[in-house]
Amino acid sequence: MQRIRLTAAGLLPVLWLCLGGWGMVCAEDFMEVFSEAMTYSYAGDLDRAEAGFRKALTLDPDNEVALNHLGIVYAKKQDLEKAEAVFLKVSALNPHNVQARTWLGILHLRKRNLDEAYRVFQELARIDPNSADAYYYLGSIYRFRHNRAKAVEYLKKSRDANSVDPSVHFRLAQAFDLADMPYNALLEYERVLQDNPKHTKALNAKGWIYYNLGNVQQAIDLWNQSLSINPKDREAVLSLAKVYNSKADEAFKQGRKAEAVELWRKTQALDPSNKAAEYFLKRHGR
Amino acid sequence: MTRRDFLDRLFRMGLGSLGVLSGPALGPVSAWAEDAMDLGIRAQEWIQAGEFDKAVALLIPAVEQYPDDEWLLGLLARCYFNMGRYRAAARICHRIQTLHPGEAWSRMTLERIKQMPLPEEAEETAVERRPTELERKALEEEQELGRKLRGDSDVRSFQIQRIVLDPGHGGFDPGAVGPSGLKEKDVTLALALDLEKALAGTGQFQVHSTRGGDYYVPLGERTITANQRRADLFVSLHINASENRSAHGTETYYCSETASNQEAARLAEFENSVIKYDEERPLHPGFMDIEAILFDFERHLYWEDSKQFAHRFQDRFGPQVTLRNRGVQFANFFVLRTARMPSLLLETGFISNPREEQLLREEGFRRQMVQAAVAAIREMSRA
């Protein structure tokens, strides 16, 4: 048996196999044009990508993948009407095309249209009852309505639909936190951080959960960890400033002036515009 | 280990020229039998023969040895893809994209998998292990609290359970001062303390304040408190002032990118003057950042809710408080903009107006204000 490595050189036949496996018209020249357009699209060269997908569609006018990618290019170019028209065309060609439906929902989110976004994602969940995306967006929408039960329900469905997306764990963590379920929130934030240890929003949110559970030092360590990743992280700066100021007030009231001054200095080092630290250091910092 | 590392190592050992990688040499060299590279090469043979399950059986231990190897992961993804196990293929393609962003085959395969509904697939059997302490606590918490969660499916309704009140100014910052010396910071604190008590007394709400005494809280920390408490509503209490002593009445502000009028813009500029704006995630042309879209969507939903709530406040103040209703205004207030919930800024009268300054001093008048605010918030929570 001949040993052949499946390398980049063998990419086009594999793509052809991959796309053709769904019974589409897949001439070699279509694949070349399409593949080139994809490369432009990923590189952010939207004009060339658009031209490429248009050319590919002259070879295979109803190719759903190419149509969807043309729609995505329009969306990236902020031509939302054209994008919507393309995704509607794909949905008409194949009502079960979940990518077109997902993008229609995203366009409604982009247009800040709550009712339409909700309707489209509900449809998506009906078409594909295992759609992690549908449940992700529905759960997120319910979280924005501060509807704890529905947010947790849908985001758990998204997580359980074999989702590999850390955003799902992040939004679910937020929903658990809102629902006063700190340990579940912590567990989901940990899953986010396993995938991306530099996710400062997860670190910051974990910090407040620990703080609210009474573990102030662990909270401070987490916010400092955020700052080691992004020294300008506003949430971490303000969280630390709030906690240092609060500890300083407490120390000052209990007569531990030196400790209070040191804490105000820490606040000021973090946030030079912090008026509270500035005021107290002027009065007591000498 | 990558293929390149492996070949480099091999050639440094002088084995490359001995034909170790050629077909006949592989079989008898038992030392290589369990090596990931060898397993990968043998798996390729099964892939060529269309025997994907046999290839998977070789690739799983190979990937266990080298979980970050793009080549081995790519082979495994191809097998799953050809076996129709699209979710498993997608998981591995995501992994490849995380390790090697832009890798062509996994990227294209993911694109294709995204098109169609995917059937449920049996999970690979997870290795049994003892739950961590956190997992155990989370499970207990879910058993205890998860069942109690209730919520209707009306996506238009907004749930209010927790409220953070924000008495403006405090400590060394008195805010506006009335003609006879009444300080804004004292009125806002008195109002907040009464409102907190009244709201908590309904049994419907958990209420917190950004300050409970006469001390200064920087602007940024006020919304941090609201976010820390995971509030559903943030209400900042202020008293208006004007150089025109006859200016009077109540108005309610909500956040918007633009201001309702010049006066609102001036007020927001004054309130924001002490802080530096931080960068946000703008919606750039040429880029679709889904999380930025969700962030923008969330914020505008809250501003839309805030607008409705602001009207409820003013509608309530009208009949219950004997001050002129100056209506609802909007402006880009930092203290409102950074809150992750609907947020309002109430300007409950003009401290610069001698008559209103006197009213604000009176406990009975403040009680009217508190009652109107409680009624408005209860209405909102039912909306």
Q: Report pLDDT for B284.
A: 55
Q: Report pLDDT for B270.
A: 63
ipTM greater than 0.90, yes or no? no
Q: Report pLDDT for B23.
A: 36
B327-337: average pLDDT: 85
Q: What is the pLDDT of residues A216-259, one digit of tens each?
A: 999 999 999 999 999 989 899 999 999 999 999 999 999 999 99
Look-up of token digits 């229609």: A104
Stretch (H or E) spanning B185: helix B184-201
Residues 6+ apart with CB under 8 A from A108: A116, A117, A120
Please tell me which of the candidates B117, B160, B300 has its beta carbon nearest to residue A98. Answer: B117
Q: What is the pLDDT of residues B239-262, one digit of tens each?
A: 999 999 999 999 999 988 888 888
With CB atoms and an 8 Å threshold, state whether B117 touches A148.
Answer: no
Q: Which two tokens stand for residue A184?
A: 């579940």
Contact B94/A at CB under 8 A: yes
Q: What is the pLDDT of residues B206-221, one digit of tens each?
A: 999 999 999 999 988 9
Predicted confidence (pLDDT) at residue B116 exceeds the cutoff of 60: yes
Predicted confidence (pLDDT) at residue B113 exceeds the cutoff of 90: no
The half-sphere exposure of B369 on its side-chain side, counting CA atoms within 13 A, is 32
Q: What is the pLDDT of residues A156-213, one digit of tens each?
A: 999 998 666 889 999 999 999 999 999 999 999 999 999 889 999 999 999 999 999 9
Strand partners, B253: B329, B345
Q: What is the pLDDT of residues A143-158, one digit of tens each?
A: 999 999 999 999 999 9
DSSP string, A238-260: HHHHHHHHHHHHHHHHTT-HHHH
Higher-confidence residue of A18 and A46: namely A46
Q: Which two tokens stand for residue B123?
A: 């999970």
User: What is the average pLDDT score of chain A?
Assistant: 89
Q: Report pLDDT for B271.
A: 63
With CB atoms and an 8 Å threshold, state whether B47 touches A69.
Answer: no
Residue B327, Ramachandran bin (φ over 0: left; ψ between -120 and 50: alpha; else beta): left
B355-375: average pLDDT: 94
Q: Which two tokens stand for residue A134?
A: 């549908």
Predicted confidence (pLDDT) at residue A11 exceeds the cutoff of 60: no
Q: How confident is the model at residue A6 (pLDDT cuts 50, 70, 90)?
A: very low
Q: Is the pTM of this model over 0.95?
A: no
Q: Report pLDDT for A4.
A: 33
- What residues of chain A lie within 8 A of the CB of B291, using their CB? 167
DSSP B177: B
With CB atoms and an 8 Å threshold, state whether B227 touches A208.
Answer: yes
Q: Report pLDDT for B14.
A: 37
Q: Residue B258 burial (CB < 10 Å; 0-12/13-18/19+)? A: exposed
Rounded to 5°, angle at Cα B47 from A33 and B121: 85
Please tell me which of the candidates A78, A148, A239 has its beta carbon nearest to residue B285. Answer: A78
Predicted confidence (pLDDT) at residue B28 exceeds the cutoff of 90: no
The answer to whether B358 and B322 are in contact (CB under 8 A) is no
**Cα dihedral across residues B44, B47, B49, B53: positive or negative:** positive
From the list A182, A164, A221, A229, the residue with the least C-alpha distance to A201 is: A229
Residue B334's CB is within 10 A of a number of other CB atoms, namely 21
